[in-house]
A and B are shown apart, each in its own frame.
Chain A
Amino acid sequence: MAYEVNLGHRSAKINILSRNGNKALLDIDGHKYDVDIVMVEKGVYSIVYNGHSYNVELIEGETSKSYIVNTFAKTFNVEIVDAESKYISSRKQGPDAEEENTNRLTPEAIMASRR
């Protein structure tokens, strides 16, 4: 299943095509990445791609789906937009948003939207 990821002003589509241990094949906006990715320490990922080594640090943001990501070059705000986020967002934007927002989502609905 493809996810949407917001990085600053950029919105990218990401899909995990296969994963076996540290090895993963991902598709980001149509570009395939065959990477070796491992969490080396809490919040720190080491990615080896095409012989290049990247060290990426994650700081969890206000929600479990938002991060501040530090790369060697730059710091980004990253947000994962999954089905649940889309669902909540569409309800907020709908014509009955005010009324709908007063109804809290049940855990069952959240789990269902994740599947």
Chain B
Amino acid sequence: MIKKVLVANRGEIAVRVMRSCREMGIRSVAVFSDADRNSMHVRYADEAYNIGPAPSRESYLNIEAIIGAAKASGADAVHPGYGFLSENAAFAGRCQEEGIIFIGPDPYAITTMGDKITARLTMIAAGVPVVPGTTEKIRDEQHALEIVKEVGLPVMIKASAGGGGKGMRLVKVIEEVGSSFRMARSEAMNAFGNDSVYIEKYIQSPHHIEFQILADNHGNAVHLFERECSIQRRHQKVIEETPSPLMNPELRKEMGEKAVKAAKAVNYKGAGTIEFIVSDSLEYYFLEMNTRLQVEHPVTERVAGVDLVKEQINIANGNPLPFKQEDLRQTGHAIQCRIYAEDPDNNFMPNPGTIKHITEPHGLGIRCDGYVYEGYEIPIYYDPMITKLISWGNTRPESIARMKRALYEYKITGVKTNIKFLEKIMDTPDFNSGNYNTHFIEKNEGFLLASRPCGTECEDMAIMAAFIDYLTKLERIQPPQYTGELGSNWKDFGRKRNVLRL
């Protein structure tokens, strides 16, 4: 039985994992870089170990430093969270070598699904539909041209080791094939150290829909329904929701079964996500598998009523899943907004800094998974996401209304955030009608980035608040006015006596 878990991560997800550990009576161990000494996960954990300097490469990506901390603390398991080493087969392998339980799949599943070309081949063999394209790496520009002619434009050139939108190029005209191939390869080399790229047909008006799966060591696997993740900016998800407005019960059942099949094809164990691309006409294709907990897992937890981290730990403990597919159902509707310290008026540039004031929203149907607090300085070294705000309602409109209320209540000063941008998304007619795909932000850019009207009265309120604040500060630094009265008769008496002595 797992008694102590080292969380090989930081920030929001580290705190999230530790919360479940605490509920299960498991001790938690934090690791932290020099930049994270004041981070919430260090305060929340039962034990904490410094693993090196601020840059991720020297700390959170340093396998030996993390293994060292696990051994020093006597942790019997490691939870990798998401990002950093969560999909690193070498790390999972090192944990196995040291006799430490890796809370996640085995290195074979990570390797197979981590390489997109191998994953495509595995899925084809398992009968899961994949986007038409190549099943081998592209050798050169000539080879790329031949494939493009065969598949037909438009196409996507993608990095085999890719993810997060890196090493990905959309090609709409034949003249761009050569340059896009070169750029995708060079980007892939820089980001992943592997320049293998492949080509697949570009699906027009795509929807990004993923299925959460859980599989144990006893051959049981279930899906926990879908998440709609089509609201993306530069291939990064911004808002996720479940159920998907596009889905119908028949399609859900069919795609869910394919997702379970995909997981079983690699003998998967733990929590994972099968991502699909779905066209407007509801044709769906396997996109990739994420062999870890997803950032957006709370929407599934809320609607399916399952604590995914607890289930990950139970599976790692060798326990069978406590439910079967027929026991699971979706209740209500959940939406997640990712709140980033970034400046929407300045091309969403990261805006790290010190939090001067923060009030997080509460109330029925609101969950706030964050890690920042008043006075905390957001480090420049890591992802600028500060909070995940999750709303739940009986219906989609109720969930949207709650999210709007929560975004309004979320007050943070000291850093710029994308909160107003998220509020605008909630107000967009396409979002409200559920009629959107991955082009949503592009399509609604004018509406999303337009300033709200602020009349003279609104401007005057800004002037007034600043002016009153300035006056208050000024009053504080003024020396007290001398009124002619002495503060203490005893002091007065003492002074007179001193004069008399002279």
Contacts and interface: CB of A to CB of B under 8 A. Distances in A.
Interface of A: 3, 5, 7, 10, 12, 14, 16, 24, 26, 28, 31, 33, 35, 37, 39, 41-45, 47, 49, 54-60, 64-65, 67, 69-76, 78, 80, 82, 114
Contacts of B471: 16
B451 interface: yes
A37 B465 contact: yes
A43 B412 CA distance: 10
Interface in B457-480: 457-474
Contacts of B204: none
A76 to B, nearest CB: 5
A114 B476 CA distance: 13
Contacts of B345: 75
27 contacts: A3-B467, A5-B463, A5-B466, A7-B463, A10-B459, A12-B459, A12-B463, A16-B467, A28-B464, A33-B460, A35-B464, A37-B465, A39-B469, A43-B356, A45-B469, A56-B461, A57-B413, A59-B413, A64-B470, A67-B469, A73-B453, A74-B452, A74-B454, A75-B416, A76-B459, A78-B462, A80-B470
A110 to B, nearest CB: 10
A32 B473 CA distance: 23
Nearest to A75: B345
Contact of B460 (A16, A31, A58, A72): A31
Contacts of A28: 460, 463-464
Nearest to B461: A54
A47 B470 contact: no
B350 interface: no
Contacts of A47: 461, 464-465
B341 to A, nearest CB: 13
B468 A73 contact: no
Contact of B462 (A33, A35, A37, A76): A76
Interface size class of B (residues with CB under 8 A): 20 to 34
Contacts of A56: 461-462, 464-465
Contacts of B454: 71, 73-74
Interface of B: 345, 356-357, 359, 374, 408, 411, 413-414, 416, 451-454, 456-474
Contact of A70 (B413, B451, B467, B470): B413
A24 B460 CA distance: 14
A26 B374 CA distance: 32
Contacts of A67: 466, 469
Contacts of A45: 465, 468-469
A49 B461 contact: yes
Contacts of A74: 451-452, 454, 458
Contact of B467 (A14, A64, A114): A14
Contacts of A44: 357, 359, 411, 413
Contact of A24 (B416, B463, B468, B470): B468
B463 A78 contact: yes
Closest 5 CB pairs of A and B: A56-B465, A73-B452, A73-B454, A45-B465, A69-B462
A52 to B, nearest CB: 8
Given A12-B460, A69-B462, A59 B414 contact: yes
Contacts of B408: 72
Nearest to A5: B463
A14 B413 contact: no
Contacts of A35: 464
A44 B358 CA distance: 10
Given A56-B461, A78-B463, A80-B470, 15 more contacts: A7-B462, A10-B459, A16-B467, A26-B467, A39-B468, A42-B374, A47-B464, A49-B457, A49-B461, A56-B465, A57-B357, A58-B466, A70-B413, A73-B451, A73-B454
Contact of A78 (B411, B451, B466, B472): B466
A24 B467 CA distance: 12
Nearest to A10: B459
B458 A26 contact: no
Given A49-B461, A64-B473, A43 B467 contact: no
Nearest to A3: B467
B470 A65 contact: yes
A67 B356 CA distance: 13
A70 B456 CA distance: 15
A26 B470 CA distance: 14
Contacts of B474: 114
A57 B411 contact: yes
Contacts of B357: 41-44, 57
A7 B462 CA distance: 8
Nearest to B412: A57
Contacts of B356: 42-43, 59-60
Contacts of B359: 41, 44
A58 B411 CA distance: 11
Contacts of A12: 459-460, 463
A82 B416 CA distance: 27
Contacts of B451: 73-74
A94 to B, nearest CB: 26
Contacts of A3: 467
Contacts of A43: 356-357, 413
Given A71-B458, A73-B452, A75-B345, A14 B464 contact: yes
A54 B462 CA distance: 9
A16 to B, nearest CB: 7
Contacts of A75: 345, 416
A114 B471 CA distance: 11
